[in-house]
Amino acid sequence: MKKIILLFTVILLQTSFLYAQEETSDKVEHSITNDLNWISSYDDAQKLAKEQNKQILIFFTGSDWCGLCKLLKKDFFSSDEFKAIAHDNLILYKADFPRRTDIVSAEDKKVNEALDNKYSKSRSKRSFPTIVITNANGVELGFIESYNFIHDTTNHFRLLKKSIQ
């Protein structure tokens, strides 16, 4: 009987611990997303860029499967330096290519595929993550593909600084 009670207690504690970890992870993800103003429509992003005389940053990502995309989001997009640059100079748009079909609407999927076709024509294949900087009229000013496991965002910031000058 003592073994059953002990086993039940261990299972209960593990479940509580896992739930607490998941809840904390969700809160961190939510706060990262809330700190940045990602525009949900590319047409709206272009209109805002024209109105505010800003450039558009398009983040090509696989939000539910791309590990490097998630890492870049944590290391680059959540940094105070990026937030300051983005606030003053950029309109942000996320072109998401998830594996789950319920994450992106069919209309957004078509828009994202059109953007991918337009901005990846000079490259041989799609690579995730990719960041493309354009002016308000959609002219590409620069891009950077992929990311690394050594958490080096130097080239990403170099792209931003070069593009906003």
Higher-pLDDT residue of 37 and 23 is 37
How is 79-142 classified by DSSP, letter by letter?
A: SHHHHHHHHHHEEEEEEE--SSTTSS-HHHHHHHHHHHHHHSTTSSS--SSEEEEE-TT--EEE
Mean pLDDT of 123-140: 89
User: Can you say how many angstroms the Cα of residue 56 is from the centroid of all Cα atoms in its chain?
Assistant: 14
What pLDDT is recorded for position 28? 40
Q: What is the pLDDT of residue 126?
A: 75
pLDDT at position 33 is: 44
Q: What is the mean pLDDT of residues 7-18?
A: 48
Res 70 pLDDT > 90: yes
Average pLDDT, whole number, for the chain? 84
Asked whether the predicted pLDDT for residue 95 surpasses 70, the reply is: yes
The length of the chain is 165
pLDDT above 60: residue 18? no
Report the pLDDT averaged over residues 129-133.
Answer: 96
